[in-house]
A and B are shown apart, each in its own frame.
Chain A
Amino acid sequence: MSTATATAARHADVPASRRVFDWAPARTYIQAAIILIWCLAPFYWMIVTAFRDVGYTFDPTFFFTHVTFDNFATVFDESRGNHFAQNLINSLIVAGITTIISLIVGVFAAYALARLRFSGKSLVLGFILGASMFPGVALITPLFQLFTNIGWFGTYQALIIPSISFSLPLAVYTLTSFFREMPWELEESARIDGCTQGQAFRKVILPLAAPATFTTAILTFIGAWNEFLIASQLSVDATKTVTVAIASFAGAQPHQEPYTAVMAAGTIVTIPLVILVLIFQRKIVAGLTAGAVK
């Protein structure tokens, strides 16, 4: 910001013809290009490899060469014991239900935390924040035993319940920060017009809160979709999620890593997320940074 203003100011009092080449913007562009390459090059390499013939796995050519769709066929080929389509469905079920439960429950707590005055608020928020930082391994040992005892081991609920431990705090925290910025005067107006607090919440606040809730849903879903530790320990073949499947993807030979197929699987899992994130870019950045800086 300041550099641009300074540059503009410097240019203002020098006639265009006598302007010396200004290095400041060039330096900014070079550094921006480095950031761009650093962030996108590995992602680009995954896609290039996903479309490359197995025989040219380690071909260092930077462009798309030996393009083929075989790797995607391999991903869904079940003859080697992979069940990628089922894994995708499992991930959708686990991440989807986790997100829905977290939002339905979390939206009420967030409303109270953002809007109402009550004693013990910092304590509640501290507890919720602490919960979001809680290490997943500390849940796995007791849940491993519990789920084995009650016959839930390897079921969907055995994956959803521990996922809620991190997605619900995340949802509450993000929603609270969003809700604090909403035009609450409208709620007051509705109250003056004779609505009860509950009615004001349903009829005025809920529609207003929909975009914030949707953004939080995306963040929560991505978190649950990316979960690996819990799923790797508490799932069985039938409920295995995509992240676990990709980590243990079986190739043609037992000790040969099927790199191109794994990159294809990674591409399938990642592309929808990347598109979603780019469409809702502004809102997601606001959601990610909410709370930390306000």
Chain B
Amino acid sequence: MSTEAPTPTSAKETLAGTHHMPGKESADRRQVTQGRWAYTLILPTLVLLGVVIVYPIINAIIMSFQKDSGLDPATGFFTEGGFAGFENYTHWLLQQCGSGPALGPCPPGTLGAQFWDAMSTTFFFTIVTVALETVLGFWMAVIMSRAFRGRALVRASVLVPWAIPTAVTAKLFFFMFAFEGIVNTLFGTQILWTGSEWPAKWAIIISDVWKTTPFMALLILAGLQLIPDEVYEAAKVDGASAWQRFTQITLPLVKPALMVAILFRTLDVLRMYDLPAIMTGGANNTTTLSILVVDQIRQGLNNASALSTITFIVIFLVAFIFVRFLGANAVDAATTGKK
């Protein structure tokens, strides 16, 4: 990449040089018209995103401060609608059900009582799957970066899990993890995979890792290919061991691509819905935040809006931490262009 960059740049400079000689003033004016032209082109996208994202978010926030009218499933009392203050938020965060004199801790089994379990399940899935995907993805990327016969076949095969719809993946792994399924047969086990908490969690984790590791591997592979071979050769001449070459050259140089890949995957798992919803329906403590929101929709939209707003804030905070403190800068990666 770096070797071919100078040619187009210098060609462009020559053209720009012959064309924009007249002076700084007209260049400035051109800058302004270019800015206007740019926003004209971007406007439709911003308007459309405003309609499909910003408007619903504002609506959700307004709804989250309204009471759901109807019978309270926890207390059996009829609740009027109207302004709720932070009641919907305390309902989830402090797990309080009912209102007024009937206010109390949510009874076990109600959705309100499941919030912190769903939160910890979501974060458990996120940490375990992203960790596994990073390690496996790195390994796959290193193998795929080597020169060997059939490399094209391997690179094509990793795209297969990526292309399969998550709903189909869920059904496929549900079948493979069935009691009489191929997994129990192959390993001689008799586990009810989707029938109890830990086997169910691992079945979901394995399915997710299978489906999304290729994406991680391809991103890391693209990062690996930017490292010139000469760097490794030089390190070898200097007597660096394979491990030293990995920790001193590969890791630091791949880090920007790796961090972006980890960021994308983390935000993706935090909103995980399809796999657990189809494989277990959220049973056996596999309810993620997204599943809890969907369950709540049938019991009260305003309360569901509070929960979806909490989910949104959690994901936003995680993204903020990644970009601010861990240096995962996807915007920079997209704006600076080819180096």
Contact = CB atoms under 8 A, between A and B. Distances in A.
Given A39-B214, A133-B267, A291 B333 contact: yes
B111 interface: no
A172 B41 CA distance: 12
B132 interface: no
A273 to B, nearest CB: 5
B315 A285 contact: no
A42 B186 contact: no
Interface string A265-292: 0100110011011100100110011011
B229 A1 contact: yes
Nearest to A46: B172
A105 B47 CA distance: 10
Contact of B175 (A3, A32, A263, A285): A263
A285 B176 CA distance: 29
A207 interface: no
B218 to A, nearest CB: 6
A108 B165 CA distance: 29
A211 interface: no
Contacts of A194: none
Contacts of A246: 165, 167-168, 171
Contact of A176 (B16, B157, B334): B334
A153 B89 CA distance: 27
Contact of B273 (A127, A137, A185, A269): A137
Contacts of A146: 56, 59
Interface string A9-41: 000000000000000010011011001101110
B180 interface: yes
A129 B319 CA distance: 11
B134 to A, nearest CB: 14
A73 interface: no
Q: Is the interface of B mostly helix, strand, loop or mixed?
A: helix
B21 interface: no
A47 B115 CA distance: 39
A266 B39 contact: no
A254 interface: no
A25 B148 CA distance: 8
Contacts of B186: 60
Interface stretch (B71-79, B94-102, B301-309): B301-309
Contact of A112 (B37, B223, B226): B37
Nearest to A277: B163
A180 interface: yes
Contacts of B264: 133, 292
B24 interface: no
Contacts of B158: 35, 39
B135 interface: no
A218 B143 CA distance: 27
B331 A138 contact: no
Contacts of A42: 161, 172-173, 176, 210
A233 B37 contact: no
A126 B331 contact: yes
Contacts of B34: 116-118
A135 B37 contact: no
A40 B160 contact: yes
B163 A274 contact: yes
A127 B270 CA distance: 19
A289 B164 CA distance: 18
A281 B60 contact: no
A105 B45 contact: yes
A253 interface: no
Given A58-B178, A108-B45, A142 B164 contact: no
A165 B49 contact: yes
A143 B53 CA distance: 10
Interface size class of B (residues with CB under 8 A): 35 or more
Interface size class of A (residues with CB under 8 A): 35 or more
Interface string A191-206: 1100001000000000
Contacts of A281: 155-156, 159
Contact of B270 (A49, A131, A135, A288): A135
B279 to A, nearest CB: 10
Interface string B161-194: 1111111101111111010111001100000000
A168 B45 contact: yes
B39 A137 contact: no
Contacts of A181: 338
A117 B156 CA distance: 37
Interface of A: 1-6, 25, 28-29, 31-32, 35-36, 38-40, 42-43, 45-46, 49, 58, 60, 101, 105-106, 108-109, 111-113, 116-119, 121-122, 124-131, 133-146, 161-162, 164-165, 168-169, 172-173, 176-177, 180-181, 183-185, 188-189, 191-192, 197, 222, 225-226, 228-229, 232-233, 242-244, 246-247, 257, 259, 262-263, 266, 269-270, 273-274, 276-278, 281, 284-285, 288-289, 291-294
24 contacts: A1-B145, A32-B150, A39-B214, A45-B176, A46-B168, A109-B46, A121-B335, A122-B332, A125-B331, A127-B49, A135-B270, A136-B273, A138-B60, A165-B52, A173-B334, A180-B337, A185-B8, A222-B163, A225-B165, A243-B166, A246-B165, A266-B172, A285-B222, A291-B330
For the complex of A and B, 5 pairs with smallest distance between CB atoms:
A243-B167, A289-B222, A142-B59, A118-B35, A109-B45
Given A35-B158, A257-B178, 7 more contacts: A60-B182, A60-B186, A116-B34, A142-B56, A165-B53, A228-B277, A242-B165
